[in-house]
Amino acid sequence: MDLSNLKPAEGSIKTNKRLGRGPGSGKGGTSTRGHKGAKSRSGYSRKIGFEGGQMPLQRRLPKFGFKNNARVEYKAINLSSIQALADANKLEKIGIEEMIAAGMIAKKHLVKILGNGQLTSKLEVAAHAFSKSAEEAIVAAGGSAVKL
């Protein structure tokens, strides 16, 4: 075994098609590109959305809709989830840190408490926003709603 008898693996080397090298090769003349038209020319690259000169779809349809860049997106958490968290961990104060520790939200989320469910214990709940019904339910249970 030495360098003089090394060969590449069987089937790993392919020879290139030699286009435009005369009629005997079978790939001379038009070099497998057919006759005339943009696709036969050198430098051809089809633009994205090009439909052969027909007005493309993205120009046929009008723009529509509205995207509010100032929109603030909250992660919604119901009172039932808050009550379950308080019962499981025997908490009196529930804030963002407790919700993160419980895996309800991620650090980056803004939290809004919604009024779905019953609140039976007196809790101090801290969040970025509250629905009216949630705030009323927390106060009715003897707790307080703290906006961050």
Is residue 61 situated within a structural domain? no
Is residue 124 situated within a structural domain? yes
SS3 17: coil
Is residue 87 situated within a structural domain? yes
The Cβ of residue 138 has, within 10 Å, a number of other Cβ atoms equal to 23
Is residue 113 situated within a structural domain? yes
> In terms of residue numbers, what domain contains 111?
74-147
DSSP class of residue 88? Answer: H
Per-residue pLDDT tens digits for 93-146 = 999 999 999 999 999 999 999 999 999 999 999 999 999 999 999 999 999 999
CATH of the domain at 137: 3.100.10.10
Is residue 140 situated within a structural domain? yes
Is residue 41 situated within a structural domain? no
Q: What is the mean pLDDT of residues 55-66?
A: 93
Per-residue pLDDT tens digits for 62-99 = 999 999 999 999 999 999 999 999 999 998 999 999 99
Is residue 1 situated within a structural domain? no
Task: Give the count of domains, the chain.
Answer: 1
Q: How far is the CA of 17 from the CAs of 20, 22, 26, 45, 95, in angstroms? A: 10, 13, 11, 21, 68
Which pLDDT value is given to residue 28? 92
Is residue 62 situated within a structural domain? no
